Structure 1
Amino acid sequence: MKRISLYILLALVIVSCGSNDQGELVGVKSSNNWHSERPLGMTLIPGGSFTMGKQSEDVAGSLNSPARTVTVRPYYMDETEITNSEYKEFVHWVRDSIVRTELALFSELMSFDGEPVLEEYMFLNIDSTDMSPYQKYMMKTYGSLGDLNSPTQGKMLNWDSEIIWNVHEFPSEEYAEVMIDSILTPIEDSFEGRRMLNVDKLKFTYYWLDQEAAARNKGNRRDFIKQETVNVYPDTTVWVRDFKYSYNDPMHQDYFYHQAYNDYPVVGVSWMQSKAFCKWRTKKKNDYLNAKRNPTQVPQFRLATEAEWEYAARGGLENATYPWGNPYLTTDRGCFLANFKPIRGNYAVDGALYTVEAKSYPPNDYGLYNMSGNVAEWTNTSYSEASYYIGSTMNPNVEIDENHRKVIRGGSWKDVAYFLEVSTRDYEYADSARSYIGFRTVQDFLGTDISGN
């Protein structure tokens, strides 16, 4: 009897010491305090209702974009279009991943009898790395940390060793063999003795869950996991192919390559490439958090819906024609407010023949640059003449897998003023790349920011 009484007393002590809720319903408490972190280079779009579509006497335009009131939730948006420098980081990550994988696989294949080949590029020993027991078990048992894209078969790449790109500085014949036969352009494609990177090798593979389809249909979760493989290098030939009988070869050669254009918006990227960039940007941030042993996963970076794009472009101004509000294209001093084709084709009168730096001209009231002009921008929405009629008025987004026409917004450096209007719709095919189309990304804001601060 005394032993039972002692157990009851101990239980009461444990309960009283382990909780201070006094028996009240207080909900599950998180071990960490949550706060929304503004991603670098992004601004918060507070969300709300606005009149979307044509409000002017544009009869043709109002047929597929009639005015209606819609509501969007808060989200972060890039202040500028994604620049060449930012997109290069994506390309270089894919490039370096492929090079290190090829070097490590060659080292594993050719090293035997205690004589390592390309030792500095060998796969890392998992047991010697600073990995948690969970990570070590996942890598040894499943070959990845839950990522099906594991070309290294569960082995860890060595990211510390420097990659040598100068062919005259290759450290060994084995290194030269890997680079020449697997990474650089074939001999028959070379000229003037130059061996360049074979950009056709730069493919990024990722997996994603079609959550909307999974929610609307019954079936196993694995049935809705999709694989995408995308060549990530921009199509620089668009500067030539988009314009017949026009000399644009310097842009073809230098626009993405030369550092002079680092802060200019990237072009020549398809809708699929911009989606791949969003997946990589999410992975980059989550990899950093995992390395810090932070279990938090950031919301996905993605393309804006058509409604989100127009709401952000308006900058909180109702019934505005352009992001700056008034219906004029110049200031009271005659300075142009965007980069486009004014005055019957005088491309350079606004200050630039082609694109301008991403932070050019005054931003709108949300702090967003070049929402009109410079380059048109991909959105996540499929283009349909019926979109405004069938779409919801709450976070509208018409996605049709079979429809490869994707909405682009904002107009570009080669467009007339009509396409700069925040309500004007246009489209391009998802697998197309143009010298006048770029993109910017958004990220969902978790919760509701009523004040907009």
Structure 2
Amino acid sequence: MKKLLLSSIAFVFLLTSCGSKQKGELTGVQGKKWYPEKPYGMELIPRGSFIMGKSEEDQGKLLNAPTKTVTVRSFYMDDTEITNSEYRQFVEWVKDSIVRTKLAILADELGIGPEEGGIGDYAFKDADTTRASVYDKYMLDNYSGMGETGYEGRALSKDEELIWDTSDYPDEYYTEIMDSIYLSEEESYNGQRTIDVKQLKYKYSWMDIEAAARASVKGNTSRKDFIKTEEVEIYPDTTVWIRDFSYSYNEPMHNDYFWHDAYSEYPVVGITWQQAKAFCNWRTKYKNDDNKSRGKQFVNQFRLPTEAEWEYAARGGIEGGTYPWGGPYVISDTGCFMANFKPQRGDYAADAALYTVEAKSYEPNDFNMYNMAGNVSEWTNSSYDPSAYDYVSTMNPNGGDQSNTRKVIRGGSWKDVAYFLQVSTRDFEYADSARSYIGFRTVQDYMGEEDSTQ
């Protein structure tokens, strides 16, 4: 009874003290000061309405893009396709995390902590109880052993740099872990052992908000029923350069395109729709982890654009344009091709490029978007349905059916004819397919900008 009385007094005091700061006025809950910033490498696409679909002749006779006036909200979009260099940052982060996790688990099993050095330098942060926070200790006491591996939720130590030079490995345990991430001697050749890329898996969870919202009307639903967990092999499929083209010598592209610095600023290819989604999740986490360390508010998620957002951005504000530059021609008044595509039968090099080109090639459109036509086709978040324009909303339209594995790709590529470069042309590929001519770019919803007048 005494404890209850003290709690009641404390609660009343809390209400009184809160009220005194606000002087009895309705001032609202005061959160952190939010400082919006323009995402790196992105351009603002201002909200607006446009006529989506084929206002010009539908040469393909597909009848899948009738004209429809729609409105989209403001959003940021990458000014180029995601490059090899940018995607390699994702791959390196995953590789680093997997190695550190393996080292930490082995150190935990051996009972070796940071004070013992060697593999102990990579032990879980909570292994050093002198440095563990109250929260870390609580989580270890109450949630240890939960999850698939029993190590979920335990923080990795990133204080020590990973050692990749075999001559500098600190002990046999470290050597054992590093040896496990490479291909076996039997699978290596020419004296080189490479990373087993099938181990490079990114695991994340997300909530199907749309399904949850629809189900909530019926009641008897639980939040956990709509939380999905994905585990995706994230290394690009470099064999696409050979598999996509039978009886064609493309081994140099298979061998060098993704990892060599000569191709760093070229668009990444060989990426499935699922891998593109995983990249978006990682990019959001990567930014928010940094924001958390700086005491800044989280940013909203990076994601793939909807089909409508993509077309709106590709048009660059030009009403009725056939191509991002307007059109209807693919050659400028100086006689130069305006994009990287296949202008003539079998003559891939007529536009001065055989395969892909650097992401910032050719002239950008009026929204400062590069290669919205040609170079590589791009994944969108929308599922493909030939009749989608008949039923999607006129406000931020999106055909996002999770059960439909056909996903819309847009923009045409280096191996396509001009028809596929038109801003209104629709095409699709299956979500689990990787191609040498499909890449992607990401978007982020607009939530305001810095006030430049202050």
TM-score (norm 2): 0.88
Partner of 1:186: 184
1:402-417 aligned at under 5 Å gives the runs 402-417=403-418
Q: CA RMSD in A?
A: 2.7
2:59/2:419 contact within 8 Å kept: no
SS in 2 for 1:71: strand
Partner of 2:77: 77
Unaligned runs of 5+ in 1: 1-9
SS in 2 for 1:92: helix
Partner of 1:92: 92
Distance 1:317 1:348, change over 3 A: same
Report the Cα offset of residue 89 of structure 1: 0.7
- Separation (CA, whole Å) in 2 of partners of 1:281 and 1:343: 38
Partner of 1:275: 277
Partner of 1:432: 433
Partner of 1:386: 387
Tell me whether 1:211 sits opposite 2:209 in the alignment.
yes
Distance 1:211 1:112, change over 3 A: closer
Partner of 1:264: 266
1:406/1:430 contact within 8 Å kept: yes
Partner of 2:241: 239
Report the Cα offset of residue 63 of structure 1: 1.2
Partner of 1:18: 21
SS in 2 for 1:227: strand
1:61/1:424 contact within 8 Å kept: no
- Separation (CA, whole Å) in 1 of partners of 2:157 and 2:375: 40
SS in 2 for 1:207: strand
2:118/2:174 contact within 8 Å kept: no
- Separation (CA, whole Å) in 1 of partners of 2:427 and 2:276: 17
1:130-209 aligned at under 5 Å gives the runs 133-134=134-135, 137-138=138-139, 141-142=142-143, 152-180=151-179, 182-209=180-207
- Separation (CA, whole Å) in 1 of partners of 2:234 and 2:59: 40
SS in 2 for 1:343: coil
Partner of 1:6: none
Q: What code does the residue aligned with 2:69 have?
A: T
CA displacement 1:163-194 (0-9 Å, x = unmatched):
233445434332222122x2111232122332
Q: What code does the residue aligned with 1:75 have?
A: F
Q: What code does the residue aligned with 1:228 have?
A: E
> Bigger shift: 153-162 or 316-325?
153-162
Q: What code does the residue aligned with 2:433 have?
A: S
SS in 2 for 1:266: coil
Report the Cα offset of residue 36 of structure 1: 2.9
Partner of 1:316: 317
2:42/2:78 contact within 8 Å kept: yes
- Separation (CA, whole Å) in 2 of partners of 1:193 and 1:178: 20
2:341/2:413 contact within 8 Å kept: yes
Distance 1:448 1:99, change over 3 A: closer
Q: What code does the residue aligned with 2:95 have?
A: R
CA displacement 1:348-396 (0-9 Å, x = unmatched):
1212111111111111111110000000000000001111111111111
CA displacement 1:286-309 (0-9 Å, x = unmatched):
111111233x22111100000000
- Separation (CA, whole Å) in 1 of partners of 2:251 and 2:301: 37
Identity value in percent: 57
CA displacement 1:126-161 (0-9 Å, x = unmatched):
655586x556644653469xx979873443322132
CA displacement 1:27-77 (0-9 Å, x = unmatched):
515343434321000111111110000001226446110011011111110
> Bigger shift: 147-156 or 213-222?
147-156
> Bigger shift: 183-192 or 415-424?
183-192
- Separation (CA, whole Å) in 1 of partners of 2:104 and 2:18: 55
- Separation (CA, whole Å) in 2 of partners of 1:72 and 1:208: 24
SS in 1 for 2:195: coil
SS in 2 for 1:344: coil
Distance 1:448 1:213, change over 3 A: farther
Q: What code does the residue aligned with 2:360 have?
A: K
- Separation (CA, whole Å) in 1 of partners of 2:173 and 2:446: 49
> Bigger shift: 168-177 or 260-269?
168-177
Partner of 1:354: 355
SS in 1 for 2:85: helix
Q: How many residue pairs end up in the alignment?
A: 431
SS in 2 for 1:399: coil
- Separation (CA, whole Å) in 2 of partners of 1:36 and 1:150: 38
Report the Cα offset of residue 108 of structure 1: 2.3
Distance 1:47 1:127, change over 3 A: farther
Q: What code does the residue aligned with 1:383 have?
A: Y
1:207/1:227 contact within 8 Å kept: yes
Distance 1:112 1:443, change over 3 A: closer
Distance 1:140 1:423, change over 3 A: farther
- Separation (CA, whole Å) in 1 of partners of 2:44 and 2:148: 33
SS in 1 for 2:63: helix
Unaligned runs of 5+ in 2: 1-12
Partner of 2:38: 38
Report the Cα offset of residue 112 of structure 1: 6.0
1:110/1:117 contact within 8 Å kept: no
Distance 1:172 1:390, change over 3 A: same
Distance 1:331 1:176, change over 3 A: same
Report the Cα offset of residue 123 of structure 1: 2.2
- Separation (CA, whole Å) in 2 of partners of 1:356 and 1:143: 50
2:251 paired residue among 249, 252, 260: 249
Partner of 2:102: 102
Q: What code does the residue aligned with 1:179 have?
A: M
